[in-house]
Amino acid sequence: MAYSVVEFKAKPHTQKDILNVFNETFDDVEMNQGGISLERLGNGRSNGATHRLVWFWTMGEEMMAEDAVSDDKNDAFWANMVNYVDEWQASYSGRVLSWQNGDAEENRVVHIWDIKIDDPMMFKAGHDKIVEEFKDDFEGRAVGFGTYDFGRPNGASHWVALSGKDKEDHMMLYDKLQKDDKFMKLIQERGPREDVKDYELRILKQFN
């Protein structure tokens, strides 16, 4: 899978309007091995960005049929968005190297860690082993690992993502896992890394 993101700073009190425009544009669009998501940025957000749009698709495949969204409808979407956006912010793209689907309705809050790593294959092997060994703890949660190939935010090379119900749900999971010696050992087996930053987001609406 590949993805592309654009962050933006919404005008005050316009989230409902943005969500309406998003729904009106994509509600009846049939996706093909991909989708689009509208998300609100929370703790850890930077540069004043409040929201982001995420497109994701299977590499080599079209996200949707060529005529799924007409030129007029596409133009109307961006024209309407301009009414509610103060400033377009960072944009970046990359690949998803590992992904476990979760329950997007129940677990809408996502914690993302931006990192720098020297050995992606070693990290991926360690990441996948953690997800497998602790599959009961990660049940129903989206768990992912991927690259930043273009527009690397703050110089990060990769990211790790985990979904949950809310902040407390995340912290309770971390508390449980970090008390497990096996988990802490597997964390180290991913190899050296540099933590760049972390942030949370809430999935407002996703079409896939």
pLDDT at 68: 67
Q: Is the dihedral of CA 83, 85, 88, 90 positive or negative?
A: negative
Cβ-in-10-Å burial (0-12, 13-18, 19+) of 18 comes to buried
Domain covering 2-207, topology: Alpha-Beta Plaits (3.30.70)
CA pair distance 143, 25, nearest whole angstrom: 28
pTM of the predicted protein model: 0.93
Q: Residue type for 161, please?
A: A
pLDDT at 70: 76
pLDDT at 178 > cutoff 90: yes
pLDDT at 11: 97
**H/E run at residue 89:** strand 85-100
20-40 pLDDT per residue, tens? 999 999 888 888 888 999 999
The residues spanned by each domain of the chain are 2-207
132-170 pLDDT per residue, tens? 999 999 999 999 999 999 999 989 999 999 999 999 999
